[in-house]
Amino acid sequence: MSADHARPRRRLFAEGTTIEDLKTYMAPFAATLGYKLNTESEFVDEVLASELEILADTGDVYCPCRVRTGDPKEDAMIVCPCIPFHMVQFAAIRKCWCGLFIRYDVEDGGELLGVIDEPELGAQVEVPVCRVNDLAPGQTKHVKAGKTDYALARVGDEFYAISNVCVHAFGPLADGVLEGHELACPWHGWRYDVRDGTTNHPDADVAAYPVTVRHGYLWLTCAL
Protein backbone atom coordinates (compact mmCIF):
# COMPACT_ATOMS: atom_id res chain seq x y z
CA MET A 1 0.00 0.00 0.00
CA SER A 2 1.41 3.43 -0.95
CA ALA A 3 1.74 6.31 1.54
CA ASP A 4 -1.16 8.00 -0.26
CA HIS A 5 -3.44 5.02 0.30
CA ALA A 6 -2.52 4.99 4.00
CA ARG A 7 -3.80 8.55 4.51
CA PRO A 8 -7.06 8.88 6.44
CA ARG A 9 -9.95 9.69 4.13
CA ARG A 10 -12.46 12.42 4.73
CA ARG A 11 -15.80 10.79 5.44
CA LEU A 12 -17.54 12.47 2.56
CA PHE A 13 -14.95 11.15 0.17
CA ALA A 14 -15.38 7.50 1.09
CA GLU A 15 -16.08 4.80 -1.45
CA GLY A 16 -19.32 5.47 -3.29
CA THR A 17 -18.90 9.26 -3.36
CA THR A 18 -20.81 10.69 -6.30
CA ILE A 19 -20.50 13.78 -8.45
CA GLU A 20 -23.47 15.27 -6.59
CA ASP A 21 -21.71 14.61 -3.24
CA LEU A 22 -18.69 16.54 -4.50
CA LYS A 23 -20.87 19.42 -5.65
CA THR A 24 -22.69 19.48 -2.31
CA TYR A 25 -19.39 19.64 -0.46
CA MET A 26 -17.55 22.02 -2.75
CA ALA A 27 -20.14 24.62 -3.78
CA PRO A 28 -20.79 26.20 -0.35
CA PHE A 29 -17.09 26.14 0.46
CA ALA A 30 -16.22 27.84 -2.82
CA ALA A 31 -19.05 30.36 -2.33
CA THR A 32 -17.44 31.67 0.84
CA LEU A 33 -14.37 32.42 -1.27
CA GLY A 34 -16.37 34.22 -3.97
CA TYR A 35 -16.65 31.33 -6.45
CA LYS A 36 -19.35 29.12 -7.90
CA LEU A 37 -19.32 26.00 -10.02
CA ASN A 38 -19.00 26.77 -13.72
CA THR A 39 -22.26 27.43 -15.51
CA GLU A 40 -21.21 24.80 -18.09
CA SER A 41 -22.66 21.82 -16.25
CA GLU A 42 -21.37 19.18 -18.67
CA PHE A 43 -17.85 20.46 -18.20
CA VAL A 44 -18.31 20.45 -14.41
CA ASP A 45 -19.50 16.85 -14.49
CA GLU A 46 -16.53 15.81 -16.64
CA VAL A 47 -14.01 17.40 -14.27
CA LEU A 48 -15.69 15.95 -11.20
CA ALA A 49 -15.82 12.51 -12.83
CA SER A 50 -12.04 12.76 -13.26
CA GLU A 51 -11.72 13.76 -9.63
CA LEU A 52 -13.71 10.69 -8.60
CA GLU A 53 -11.31 8.48 -10.58
CA ILE A 54 -8.41 10.14 -8.81
CA LEU A 55 -10.22 9.70 -5.50
CA ALA A 56 -10.58 5.96 -6.14
CA ASP A 57 -6.92 5.77 -7.01
CA THR A 58 -5.36 7.98 -4.35
CA GLY A 59 -7.93 8.54 -1.60
CA ASP A 60 -8.42 12.24 -2.20
CA VAL A 61 -9.86 14.58 -4.82
CA TYR A 62 -6.70 15.96 -6.36
CA CYS A 63 -6.98 18.36 -9.25
CA PRO A 64 -7.15 16.56 -12.59
CA CYS A 65 -5.14 19.27 -14.33
CA ARG A 66 -2.15 19.34 -11.96
CA VAL A 67 0.71 16.91 -11.49
CA ARG A 68 0.89 15.16 -8.09
CA THR A 69 4.32 14.88 -6.53
CA GLY A 70 3.48 11.98 -4.18
CA ASP A 71 4.38 14.13 -1.18
CA PRO A 72 1.05 14.54 0.69
CA LYS A 73 2.14 17.87 2.20
CA GLU A 74 2.97 19.38 -1.16
CA ASP A 75 0.03 17.75 -2.90
CA ALA A 76 -2.37 19.19 -0.32
CA MET A 77 -2.17 22.39 -2.38
CA ILE A 78 -3.90 20.69 -5.28
CA VAL A 79 -6.72 19.01 -3.42
CA CYS A 80 -9.83 20.43 -5.05
CA PRO A 81 -11.02 23.12 -4.51
CA CYS A 82 -7.57 24.64 -4.22
CA ILE A 83 -8.77 28.25 -4.38
CA PRO A 84 -7.31 29.51 -1.07
CA PHE A 85 -3.78 28.64 -2.22
CA HIS A 86 -4.14 30.48 -5.50
CA MET A 87 -6.62 33.13 -4.49
CA VAL A 88 -4.91 36.12 -6.03
CA GLN A 89 -4.07 34.48 -9.35
CA PHE A 90 -7.56 32.99 -9.67
CA ALA A 91 -9.15 36.37 -8.91
CA ALA A 92 -7.15 37.81 -11.81
CA ILE A 93 -8.23 35.15 -14.30
CA ARG A 94 -11.74 34.92 -12.76
CA LYS A 95 -11.66 31.13 -12.50
CA CYS A 96 -9.55 28.30 -11.17
CA TRP A 97 -6.97 26.88 -13.57
CA CYS A 98 -9.25 24.52 -15.41
CA GLY A 99 -12.44 26.51 -14.91
CA LEU A 100 -14.32 24.12 -12.63
CA PHE A 101 -14.94 27.18 -10.46
CA ILE A 102 -15.64 30.70 -11.72
CA ARG A 103 -15.97 33.99 -9.87
CA TYR A 104 -19.42 34.66 -8.44
CA ASP A 105 -20.09 37.49 -10.93
CA VAL A 106 -19.15 35.62 -14.14
CA GLU A 107 -22.40 34.99 -16.00
CA ASP A 108 -21.17 32.76 -18.80
CA GLY A 109 -18.47 30.40 -17.56
CA GLY A 110 -18.18 28.90 -21.04
CA GLU A 111 -16.34 32.02 -22.20
CA LEU A 112 -13.50 31.32 -19.81
CA LEU A 113 -13.01 27.67 -20.69
CA GLY A 114 -9.67 27.04 -22.36
CA VAL A 115 -8.46 30.56 -21.54
CA ILE A 116 -4.98 30.13 -20.17
CA ASP A 117 -3.70 33.70 -20.08
CA GLU A 118 -1.25 34.29 -17.26
CA PRO A 119 -2.46 37.21 -15.17
CA GLU A 120 -0.63 40.45 -15.81
CA LEU A 121 1.89 41.30 -13.11
CA GLY A 122 0.65 44.27 -11.10
CA ALA A 123 -3.00 43.71 -12.07
CA GLN A 124 -5.44 44.74 -9.34
CA VAL A 125 -7.68 42.01 -7.98
CA GLU A 126 -10.28 41.77 -5.24
CA VAL A 127 -10.15 38.79 -2.90
CA PRO A 128 -12.22 37.88 0.19
CA VAL A 129 -9.89 37.70 3.18
CA CYS A 130 -12.02 37.54 6.33
CA ARG A 131 -15.59 37.40 7.59
CA VAL A 132 -16.86 40.79 8.79
CA ASN A 133 -17.85 39.21 12.11
CA ASP A 134 -14.31 37.96 12.67
CA LEU A 135 -13.02 41.50 13.10
CA ALA A 136 -14.57 43.40 16.03
CA PRO A 137 -14.42 47.21 16.31
CA GLY A 138 -11.02 48.34 17.57
CA GLN A 139 -9.34 45.10 16.48
CA THR A 140 -6.69 44.26 13.94
CA LYS A 141 -6.05 41.02 12.11
CA HIS A 142 -3.25 39.58 10.02
CA VAL A 143 -4.30 38.09 6.68
CA LYS A 144 -2.33 36.78 3.74
CA ALA A 145 -3.41 37.04 0.11
CA GLY A 146 -1.05 35.59 -2.45
CA LYS A 147 2.46 36.20 -1.16
CA THR A 148 1.68 39.41 0.69
CA ASP A 149 0.85 39.95 4.37
CA TYR A 150 -1.73 42.54 5.32
CA ALA A 151 -2.90 44.10 8.58
CA LEU A 152 -6.68 44.59 8.62
CA ALA A 153 -8.12 47.12 11.05
CA ARG A 154 -11.66 47.97 12.08
CA VAL A 155 -12.56 51.38 13.44
CA GLY A 156 -16.29 51.45 14.25
CA ASP A 157 -17.86 50.08 11.08
CA GLU A 158 -15.04 51.21 8.80
CA PHE A 159 -12.48 48.67 7.57
CA TYR A 160 -8.92 49.33 6.49
CA ALA A 161 -5.92 47.38 5.27
CA ILE A 162 -2.25 48.31 5.25
CA SER A 163 0.91 46.30 4.74
CA ASN A 164 1.62 44.11 7.77
CA VAL A 165 5.33 44.88 7.60
CA CYS A 166 6.66 47.84 9.59
CA VAL A 167 9.24 49.86 7.68
CA HIS A 168 11.47 50.25 10.75
CA ALA A 169 12.53 46.63 11.35
CA PHE A 170 9.76 44.56 9.75
CA GLY A 171 7.57 44.31 12.87
CA PRO A 172 4.17 42.60 12.36
CA LEU A 173 1.78 45.56 12.45
CA ALA A 174 -1.38 43.49 12.93
CA ASP A 175 -0.01 42.50 16.36
CA GLY A 176 0.19 46.17 17.35
CA VAL A 177 -2.21 48.36 19.32
CA LEU A 178 -4.98 50.22 17.50
CA GLU A 179 -6.02 53.57 18.98
CA GLY A 180 -8.56 55.38 16.84
CA HIS A 181 -7.08 55.24 13.35
CA GLU A 182 -3.51 54.86 14.62
CA LEU A 183 -1.85 51.48 14.74
CA ALA A 184 1.29 51.27 16.86
CA CYS A 185 3.90 48.70 15.84
CA PRO A 186 4.30 46.07 18.60
CA TRP A 187 8.10 46.19 18.45
CA HIS A 188 9.21 49.83 18.81
CA GLY A 189 5.96 51.75 18.62
CA TRP A 190 6.08 53.49 15.25
CA ARG A 191 2.55 54.67 14.57
CA TYR A 192 0.75 54.25 11.25
CA ASP A 193 -2.57 55.73 10.14
CA VAL A 194 -4.59 52.74 8.94
CA ARG A 195 -6.56 54.96 6.53
CA ASP A 196 -3.58 55.62 4.27
CA GLY A 197 -0.50 53.92 5.74
CA THR A 198 1.22 57.18 6.63
CA THR A 199 3.52 57.58 9.60
CA ASN A 200 5.29 60.58 11.08
CA HIS A 201 8.72 59.14 10.22
CA PRO A 202 10.16 60.50 6.98
CA ASP A 203 9.87 58.20 3.93
CA ALA A 204 8.53 55.37 6.05
CA ASP A 205 4.88 55.06 5.00
CA VAL A 206 3.46 51.63 4.24
CA ALA A 207 1.04 50.81 1.44
CA ALA A 208 -2.69 51.01 2.11
CA TYR A 209 -5.28 48.90 0.28
CA PRO A 210 -9.01 49.41 -0.34
CA VAL A 211 -11.38 47.13 1.62
CA THR A 212 -14.97 46.47 0.56
CA VAL A 213 -17.69 44.65 2.49
CA ARG A 214 -19.62 42.16 0.39
CA HIS A 215 -21.78 39.18 1.34
CA GLY A 216 -20.55 39.31 4.92
CA TYR A 217 -16.86 39.21 3.89
CA LEU A 218 -14.11 41.77 3.71
CA TRP A 219 -12.69 41.96 0.20
CA LEU A 220 -9.25 43.38 -0.21
CA THR A 221 -8.05 45.01 -3.41
CA CYS A 222 -4.44 44.05 -3.92
CA ALA A 223 -1.94 43.79 -6.74
CA LEU A 224 -0.53 40.60 -8.22
Instruction: By CB under 6 A, name the one of 27, 49, 65, 204 that touches ligand SF4.
Output: 65
Contact partner, 185, from ligand SF4, ligand FES, none, Cβ < 5-8 Å per class: ligand FES
Query: Segment 183-212, which members bind ligand FES (CB under 6 A)?
Result: 185, 187-190
Is 188 exposed, middle or buried (CB count within 10 Å of its CB: 0-12, 13-18, 19+)? exposed
55 contacts: CB under 8 Å, gap ≥ 6: 13, 17, 61
**Least distance (Å) between residue 222 CB and ligand FES:** 21
Identify which of residues 61 and 161 has a Cβ nearer to ligand SF4 in the complex: 61
Cα(100)–Cα(81) distance, integer angstroms: 9
101 binds ligand SF4 (CB under 6 A): yes
Identify which of residues 160 and 190 has a Cβ nearer to ligand FES in the complex: 190
44 binds ligand SF4 (CB under 6 A): no
**Least distance (Å) between residue 66 CB and ligand SF4:** 6
Instruction: State the binding string over 47-86 for ligand FES (x if CB under 6 A, else -).
Output: ----------------------------------------
63 binds ligand SF4 (CB under 6 A): yes
98 binds ligand SF4 (CB under 6 A): yes
Cα(97)–Cα(118) distance, integer angstroms: 10
Residues that bind ligand FES (CB under 6 A): 166, 168-169, 171, 185, 187-190
